[in-house]
Amino acid sequence: MDELDPVIHQPVRLRIMAALMTLDMDAEIEFTTLRDLLNLTDGNLGAHLRKLERAEYVQIHKTFVGRKPRTFLSLTPKGRVAFLEHRRALEALLQSVDRALENNQG
């Protein structure tokens, strides 16, 4: 059975992972685009990204577009699996509660 992942469960990190999960496998999102999408500050997003990077869930790719430095972000395959497992664990938890309620009523 899938288990809840404490790294992902933190609300901001959960939102970051959900946003990155929506993109195609080989897609990367730019840092400020993700920041605006999630209504976060630079510092807040940066701190949570570092934790996700340490867990090897997120890949951070720094590059230059013209002369401007840009940071692009994507989920690693390990991050995708972890997110899916975490989501399944949440669903399983709710299903087990439903089953318990049905048994009590029965």
Among 41, 62, 65, 103, binds other proteins (CB under 8 A): 65
Contact (Cβ atoms closer than 8 angstroms) between residue 49 and residue 102: no
Tokens 């840092």 found at: 31
Please enumerate in sequence order all residues whose Cβ is within 8 A of that of 8, keeping only pairs 6 or more positions apart, or say none. Answer: 14, 17, 57, 82, 83, 86
Per-residue mark of binding to other proteins, 76-95 (x: CB under 8 A): -----------x--xx-xx-
> Which candidate, 61, 85, 90, 65, places its Cα nearest to that of 75?
61
Among 35, 38, 53, 59, binds other proteins (CB under 8 A): 38
Among 2, 15, 46, 60, binds other proteins (CB under 8 A): 15
Counting contacts by CB under 8 A, is residue 6 touching other proteins? yes
Contact (Cβ atoms closer than 8 angstroms) between residue 83 and residue 64: no
Q: Which residues bind other proteins (CB under 8 A)?
A: 3-6, 9, 11, 14-15, 18-19, 21-24, 26-30, 33, 37-38, 65, 70, 72, 87, 90-91, 93-94, 97
